[in-house]
Structure 1
């Protein structure tokens, strides 16, 4: 649940807002795009970073993203909604977003022995939540590594990007950046030899 106390109807308006929940699950990344009229769900390979649109959010029209198919949606059991209301944290009416999904609890068995009973693995995974809308910049309201434990507790480790702000998507590790830089230098070398 995202309890967004600073987004009150009078201060920021609520019509036209969307909320994106991003999370990783093994080799796939997912975005659930939540609006007042419903949800849309997308996936991509976790090895590919998502392009960002002019407002600073995910470019979900990019071909790196594809809509979830019926089997994935049935396995995921996504439920989401947004509303304006009060909460124990904030008494003034404000934006509240809720999201849930199914958890794969077959970790103790081999995948061949048991079919998965949920989409999301309880292993440590990156999550972020971002808020935007027509004519508004996208604001990342939180990002963290979540790990679900067998006893029902959750470990949450915040992830901060440049400037100490929450990150929209995982930040490449320095080793990954070095490998990317070496690959680009190699390509430049090949290009120079051909000239």
Structure 2
């Protein structure tokens, strides 16, 4: 399993829910703490305000599910599927992802700070207006992804592939152009100055 960048292990769990059919389940208001979910089908599940704390999800199918103002705090996701899943205004602070799939996953708003996505294939995912401070995207494959208006302050992006990625409006001061693939990456004029400065260039206005 991929490790959290601070070396902390996954939180221990106390109860287990295995092979349950939660297809189309209304998760609104549910609260789960220190639960191990194994091979649970959450396809098309939806809800507002659900809270999962220190939970581990193994082989859980979140396909086409919709989560609004939910919280997955310090959770661990192993080999889970997020095809066409939507997270709107959700908190996933401190959560860790390992070996998951993210095709067409949409994240809109919310706080994903300190989240671990090392090596994740996010090429067909989108993140907009999300707080992702100190996120671990080491070696992540984000070519062609949408990462707009995202706060990546202090993020780990070493060897990440951001080629063709739309980064407009995102905070990218933690990106090292020498260790991150940026070919055809879409950025705005301000971000161009940030990257030029990180390369040691002296950016000035043209003389009058």
Same fold at TM > 0.5: no
TM range (shorter): under 0.3
Relative to its length, the structure with more strand (as a share) is 1
- Normalised by the length of structure 2, the TM-score is 0.22
- Normalised by the length of structure 1, the TM-score is 0.23
